[in-house]
Amino acid sequence: MESVPTIKIHIEKYMRENDLKLQHFSDITGINVGTLSAILKGSRPMSMNQLNQITLAMGLEKGYFYESYGVESFIESTPHWRRLEPYLYECAELGKLDSIQQVIIHVTDDRSYIEELFGVAESLYGKGMNEAALILYRCVADCEKYQHSERLALCQYRIFLLQKTLSKFDNLKAAIKFEPYIDKLNEELQLDAIKDVANLYATIHVWDRVLDLAEKLEQRVEFQLNFRSGKRKTKPRVSFYPIFSYRAYANLLKATVAERRKQYKKALKYTDVYEDIMNGIENPTEEERELIERFKGWAEGNRYLYTLLLGDFNILDDYLSYLNANPKEILTAFVYIVKAANQCSYDIDRALDKFKTHINNIKSRKLCKGNIQRGDIES
């Protein structure tokens, strides 16, 4: 089997071909000549910063030697976190996922790095480097010694969020696999997890599970609100949204399930509940005001929709005015308007003509995805 040239061999070849002495190459790279000499002799390991300086001096693109560096520094040699951590970040930034995967498989033989790898995964996740983060989360989850740990549960939550596909079957498997870990998460973070799993079940129309999770979400919110009652706020919020908003969201989910089951009066009742919850917030912050307005908008649109589905077309003109002010909802709304008209043998040609151009434009641009709407529940 032919041996692969090491980084050291590449450097020495470059220096020979360009007739460069060590001092000259030191000047070009900006690396101390003694340090450079020790690196080439193999008596001193090369840092990521030094590797990047050398690569640039040789006129090569950043990351050219990353695969070789990973093999030489972490597979053929004993890994050191001081070099491994920046390597993972640099590979993530350049999208060198295969290099990360190759190194991580060997590094996790030593489980002492699990905590550090989890920290890097969280950092990458926070920066939106999701593919690299997913590799690390899977690695940590596979190597986690304590199956009831919060860290394992959080890894599984991140994996659940990051590996959603267009396949309903795959998403269903992901939800089923993740659900047992929800109760092991931080109690506030459980609210987000329940909401996210409920949203996934809604997209694949598993309405029984959506309803179960909506009720579970409401119960967890009540616990959190009671627990916080009378206590000083000494810790930063863990949940993505203010706690009370999850109670409103739980009732929005219930309203959606009721509508899907053609229980329109029940859907209206839940709509009143989540609107009342939001209206009951005193001295709201800017974030809370934005949420209140969002829920009020959903309540208004959904109330028109459910009333229409009950056969009351007296509100159609008001609904059309609402849609005119909220064009993102037009296409979805008209699916239900046509459905209601067919059920009640009601002539809606005037309404269709009014929005014909807009509907055709939306179809041509394929802008069919909105925020929380009927049939498309997102947070």
Average pLDDT along the chain: 89
Q: What is the mean pLDDT of residues 343-357?
A: 84
Residue 378 scores a pLDDT above 60: no
Q: Say what percent of the chain tops pLDDT 90.
A: 69
Structure confidence by residue, pLDDT tens digits, 233-274? 557 888 999 999 999 999 999 999 999 999 999 999 999 999
Residue 210 — pLDDT band, cuts 50, 70, 90?
very high
Q: What mean pLDDT comes out for the span 122-134?
A: 96
Q: Encoding tokens for residue 270?
A: 């839940």
State the pLDDT at residue 348: 86
Cβ proximity of 221 and 250 under 8 Å = yes
More confident residue, 366 or 314: 314
Q: Nearest 5°: CA angle at 224, between 286 and 171?
A: 85
Strand partners, 373: 376
Residue 186 has pLDDT above 60, yes or no: yes
Residue 364 pLDDT: 64
Q: Of residues 330 and 24, which shows the higher confidence score? A: 24
Statement: residue 368 has pLDDT above 60: no
In this prediction, residue 195 carries a pLDDT of 97
**345 C-beta neighbours (distance < 10 Å), count:** 6
At 362, the pLDDT band (50, 70, 90 cuts) reads low
Domain assignments of the chain as residue spans, ordered by start? 1-64
Q: What pLDDT is attached to residue 79?
A: 87
Q: How far apart are the first and last CA of the chain?
A: 54
Evaluate if residue 366 carries a pLDDT over 70. no
Structure tokens at 163: 């590996």
Mean pLDDT, rounded, for 356-372: 58
pTM: 0.84
User: In the prediction, which pLDDT does 1 show?
Assistant: 34
Percent of the chain residues topping a pLDDT of 70: 92
Identity of the residue numbered 363: K
Q: What pLDDT is stored for residue 343 in this prediction?
A: 85
Alpha carbon of residue 11 to chain centroid: 41
Instruction: Say how many CA atoms lie within 13 Å of 114 toward its Cβ.
Output: 17
CA 141 to chain centre: 17
Contact 275, 300 (CB under 8 A): no
Region 94-115: mean pLDDT is 89
The CATH superfamily of 1-64 is lambda repressor-like DNA-binding domains (1.10.260.40)
